Structure 1
Amino acid sequence: MRISATVLAPAALVAALVAGVTGCGSSGSPGSSGGGSSAGGDVKLGMSVSTLNNPYFVQFRDGAQAQAAKLGAALTVTDAQNDASQQVNQVQNFTSQSMKAIIINPVDSDAAAPAVKAADRSSIPVIAADRGVNGAEVAQTVASDNVAGGRMAAQQLAKAMGSAGKVVVLQGTPGTSASRDRGQGFAEGIKAFTGIQVVARQPADFDRTKGLDVMTNLLQSHPDLTGVFAENDEMALGAIKALGAKAGGQVKVVGFDGTPDGLKAVQAGTMTATIAQQPKLLGQQAVDAAVKAAKGQTIPKTVAVPVKVATKANVSEFGTS
């Protein structure tokens, strides 16, 4: 219809204005970070984070945004809110917007594959951050060595328990490589301690409230447990709340991530240890790789960000703010 030309021009103008407003991040759309884009920059990047309702991933985002600003790249961040379908839509939108590179922190390592493949068909490099993508090729995976971290957690928990007792494992979100790898490392590590029995493994989806609920239920069936391994600090903090006065004394708790709240719990003695990651550094390295890939530079297929054991003896080295 001929009239469409006169209608589309102002519509396009409105769309451009809306894009400009949301890019400034004053309010954001559902699923956005509320801090959407870095200003300016010739290299436009999209980043979908599994959830920003987790202090670890807030630090990850902050590191990414700081690195984008440093490199003069425009970074748009979206929050998938732990919804794999929503994340697929976000990555597809980045692809249709012709982003120069995409960073994905998968909600589900398997479910992310189709959207990553679509980006690849459009010649848009994808960086997987903190968690891998199964069944699709990515330009780089930047993550902590979660298997090694799981082994370190097992050794630390066994040491605190005197190499004997009953342990429960609070697992992360099913389908994530982080949960799988941390669980694998812990299982491998704990085998060396024949006096320790793992009496239950149950998902709590990396969530503090769910950690509290799951731990409360597990205490009913295993009142004599003496150890807890939680695959992230949020679940560990929920477990500590459920354990009450037992936490850190009768029941030793080891977490994973090294979040500010987790480190404070280690300092207080309610959490025996946490395997501390470096989420800001991870975010920085993901953006650095994305910019290089967008410019056609060669980057390594994997980058491992070191993890360390944080205990009460050395927690001051990590900072708790």
Structure 2
Amino acid sequence: MDEIETKGLSRRLFLGASAAMLAAQYVSVRPAKAADYKFAAALGWTTYDSGRHLQDGFTNAVKDLGGSLTTTDAGFDAKKQSDQIDSLVATKPDALFVTPADAVAIAPAVQRALAAGIPVFAADSMVPGVAVNTTAMSNNFGMGFYTADFIAKQLGGKGRIARVLLPQNESWDQRTLGCEWALRRHPDIKVVTDWAFALAGNVTPRQAVDNILTANPDLDAVWCAWDGAAVEGTLAARAADRPNLILTGIDGGSQAFQYIAGGTQLKLSMAQTFYEMAYLDVLYAHEHLAGRKTPRTVITPTYAVTQEMLANGIPDDFDVPGRGEELGWSRAV
């Protein structure tokens, strides 16, 4: 490993090469055309750790497995992503990769891609009502259940909580349903208020949590549907001098890990394997183009990351296939 690092290769790239060798076990004999495949990726976003890891997964998988890749970034704008999908379809790629921010809104554009004979592979979220070839994603319901159950257990089964919701995407909204199912097992945990984030709204999660804490001085915890809200909520808790407040989030990545490792109010993040989602999409695009069967849905690993798991440092490559096991992490959902 030291020799590899001295040659300027990052651990992520080294592990990516290891993942490629693993993938080679499944892609037994690729056609000679594999190197000439032309792929396109219509990404809903490339910001935050999640977007960066998804983009890295697509890019490195195409390098490892063959082909070229054209990528667009919609910046969470569904109309822009729909237009980008139409433009990419016009170039007649061999396969299209999609990460939907607003899956319902882009569904017609994805359907047009399929109607044009372009196989589509989605990552992170399903596209409702559209039979894409493969979707690689986390168990959103399970992550919502796990975080709510964690809060309930931390509070000894009794307390007052608020929730910051993410209804923008049907898959992401499953986290709220998982939370609700978990709380049915803890009837003495009371949800005193909910706030639903809107991508086009004027209120930030930080402002929302500021207002929640002002209105609820006896609040015990804030359940957040994603880490961006959990991090901003932690800043609000600091400003309000609420050291005993408990926050949880969903996504994973270096920013949330830093807050957890630092012993802040953010106690748990459900770390999704975004890199692996994207890598699997490219792998199964190759399989499909080689005439082999591919799974309709793949549920990728999620790790429930707490402070103890970060005692030896903050890994940025935890979602490269196999790396979680190297770290001693166990799949939570």
TM-score per shorter chain, which class?
Answer: 0.7 to 0.9
Q: Aligned in 2, Cα 1:291/1:177: closer, same or farther, shift over 3 Å? A: farther
Matched, 1:297 2:300: no
Pairing 1:220-299 to 2, within 5 Å after superposition: 220-244=214-238, 249-270=243-264, 271-299=266-294
- Measure how far apart 1:139 and its partner are: 0.5
Q: Distance in 2 between matches of 1:124 and 1:130?
A: 20
Matched, 1:101 2:85: no
CA contact (8 A) 1:226 1:252 kept: yes
Q: Aligned in 2, Cα 1:316/1:303: closer, same or farther, shift over 3 Å? A: farther
Q: Distance in 2 between matches of 1:236 and 1:247?
A: 16
Paired position in structure 1 for 2:64: 70
Q: Distance in 1 between matches of 2:310 and 2:81?
A: 35
Matched, 1:156 2:155: no
Q: Distance in 2 between matches of 1:247 and 1:320?
A: 30
Q: Aligned in 2, Cα 1:289/1:205: closer, same or farther, shift over 3 Å? A: farther
Q: Distance in 2 between matches of 1:236 and 1:103?
A: 29
Q: Distance in 1 between matches of 2:58 and 2:181?
A: 33
Paired position in structure 1 for 2:115: 121
CA contact (8 A) 1:73 1:291 kept: no
Paired position in structure 1 for 2:27: none
Paired position in structure 1 for 2:15: none
Report SS of the residue matched to 2:160. strand
AA at the equivalent of 2:80: Q
- Measure how far apart 1:215 and its partner are: 0.7
Paired position in structure 2 for 1:210: 204
Q: Distance in 2 between matches of 1:178 and 1:220?
A: 31
Identity of aligned residues (%): 26
Which 10-residue stretch deviates more, 284-293 or 119-128? 284-293
Deviations 1:145-194 (A, max 9, x none): 1111111111111122222211111112x331332111111111122111
AA at the equivalent of 1:199: V
AA at the equivalent of 1:136: V
Number of residue pairs aligned between Structure 1 and Structure 2: 280
Report SS of the residue matched to 2:145. helix
Paired position in structure 1 for 2:74: 80
Q: Aligned in 2, Cα 1:247/1:236: closer, same or farther, shift over 3 Å? A: farther
Paired position in structure 1 for 2:172: 179
Tell me how large the CA RMSD over aligned residues is.
2.1
Paired position in structure 1 for 2:9: none
Matched, 1:200 2:193: yes
Where does the alignment leave 5 or more consecutive residues of structure 1 unmatched? 1-39
Report SS of the residue matched to 1:272. strand
CA contact (8 A) 2:152 2:158 kept: yes
